[in-house]
A = this chain, B = another copy of it.
């Protein structure tokens, strides 16, 4: 993590901003160390049990998996939740990037435990962004500490990816409050027994609201009423009426939430009337990066599990050897290929997410206007890639983890299957990966006429030149592959920008392969930064074996995924005719 932060993601730039006076290498080291202990010793042991004994709804109350309550108490007590929030809100004022590194570890430990904390984080950000002083006074401190948690209530059965169809209602009561009524589905940690209160942020419509997304407002709807002095009042008319049965992530309660079944559900408006989606995006953009990091974390866990298995499990012999003892399956080239795929994809997605987090922090804390603007553009560009690419790759990595285990991967005993089942949701929620791709080719690419993408591509090109100029042959090779990859990305980008002049349908048809290509190149870019740094470190007398392994994994990535990036241009630029509207009746024949 430390290598990724410093040598790939540009973490050092945060110290230079001066916005984090207490930040130092020692502090970061100490935090990563403590984090490792908490994740390893407290949370990781709960993972398998949370799959076997998921959250349950009993008499209207959601009970979490064995051990979650105690682990959450330690999480709050240690101040993990407050890490990256401003000191003025009771936080520790450290960079969000460190919080991202923390949830990387937490997701590796137990994804279904970790997801709950990231929803609170997102809700806090929306409140920081849009709440009145009074709302902040009532909610912020308890949420920043983690004493209360947050939940995002967006989806309704008819309104999933398309929130314009939301029907939940909010009627002003005349005393500054609103009566909320409606049902929400797929509400992660909508109810649970980890904290005394759950602060719901709910999208709903005012009586006179315009149709569509322009008529959606956001409300703060606590599970327990909050008194003037901040203490807990009575129960609000909000409840979990069903838990979904899911493929995985059993430890995370996915709730159907009923608001106002007895017409007694009260909330306050968060931000302006009919501008609810704006707040939602504050919450959601942060959540999107966090979901990307879920992919990184669960992929890391699957990888470590598979690596240990491959060193232990004995099967077969080396090529040409006909007798004698069996060898660890790690010795088989095909198994190493799978492991290196897992490793390199996980490292690439980690680097992308961390770089995204650094951009997030710089965009908010740099004293330099240009740097802030540049970072903001990079953050916007990387967010859909962090979310979609990391989670698509997590599906692949966790599936390879099952494959390395052979038959043992398919039986639940070993745990490999759980990572794959758990990971699968991350490509779906917080905006499906298809939606991310549409965001990338739409708002992010066309929104500034390709400026942010162009700047990124320019950086990658320069990095390719640096790598090609290295003394190390492998690093040169990485540079050459990176150049091929970024050239292809540039072609696709240009093609999309041109196509956008004529037909959004053409652009949208290429969205998913473009995001994949972009992710492959971005991953190669950050890994290449690491490889160049590793080569320098060797020259300066660093641990040769360790740094050579970094270079070898990057080379593997370059040969597997930067070459893939090259071919994807064809898929991007085939345009709408390859996804022409065929009569579905003919397609089922």
Contacts and interface: CB of A to CB of B under 8 A. Distances in A.
Interface of A: 155, 158, 160-162, 164-165, 185-186, 211-212, 244-248, 254, 304, 307-308, 310-311, 314-317, 319-320, 322-323, 326, 330-340, 343, 395, 399, 402-403, 406-413, 417, 420-421, 424-425, 427-429, 432-434, 437-438, 504-505, 508-509, 511-512, 545-546, 549, 552-553, 555-556, 559-560, 563-564, 566-567, 570-571, 574, 576, 578-584, 586-589
A424 to B, nearest CB: 6
27 contacts: A155-B407, A212-B323, A244-B413, A245-B413, A246-B411, A247-B411, A247-B417, A247-B421, A248-B410, A254-B411, A320-B504, A333-B576, A334-B511, A335-B434, A337-B579, A338-B434, A340-B578, A343-B587, A395-B399, A403-B434, A410-B425, A410-B428, A546-B589, A556-B579, A563-B571, A564-B567, A566-B567
A413 to B, nearest CB: 7
Contact of A555 (B211, B333, B578): B578
B505 A333 contact: yes
Nearest to A318: B505
Given A248-B410, A333-B508, 17 more contacts: A160-B315, A162-B326, A165-B326, A186-B407, A334-B437, A334-B509, A334-B511, A337-B509, A337-B512, A402-B424, A406-B432, A407-B428, A410-B428, A545-B586, A553-B582, A556-B579, A559-B578
A566 B564 CA distance: 10
Given A339-B587, A508-B333, A512-B337, A571 B579 contact: no
Contact of A211 (B315, B323, B583): B323
A434 B584 CA distance: 36
Given A315-B161, A323-B211, A420-B247, A560 B549 contact: no
Contacts of A409: 428
A568 to B, nearest CB: 8
Contacts of A425: 410
Contact of A552 (B212, B245, B556, B582): B582
A515 to B, nearest CB: 10
Copies in the complex: 2
Nearest to A559: B574
A223 to B, nearest CB: 22
A345 to B, nearest CB: 13
Nearest to A562: B570
Nearest to A586: B549
A567 B574 contact: no
Contact of A403 (B433, B508, B588): B433
Contacts of A155: 407
Contacts of A511: 333-334
| A-B residue pairs, 10 tightest by C-beta | A319-B504, A567-B567, A549-B586, A162-B315, A247-B417, A563-B570, A333-B508, A333-B509, A334-B434, A336-B579
A403 B421 contact: no
Given A161-B406, A567-B564, A574-B559, A399 B428 contact: no
A22 B206 CA distance: 73
Nearest to A417: B247
Contacts of A571: 559-560, 563
A570 B559 CA distance: 7
Nearest to A433: B403
A319 B511 CA distance: 13
Contacts of A553: 582, 587
B334 A512 contact: yes
User: Which of A333, A338, A395, A407 has the most chain B CB atoms closer than 10 A to its own CB?
Assistant: A333
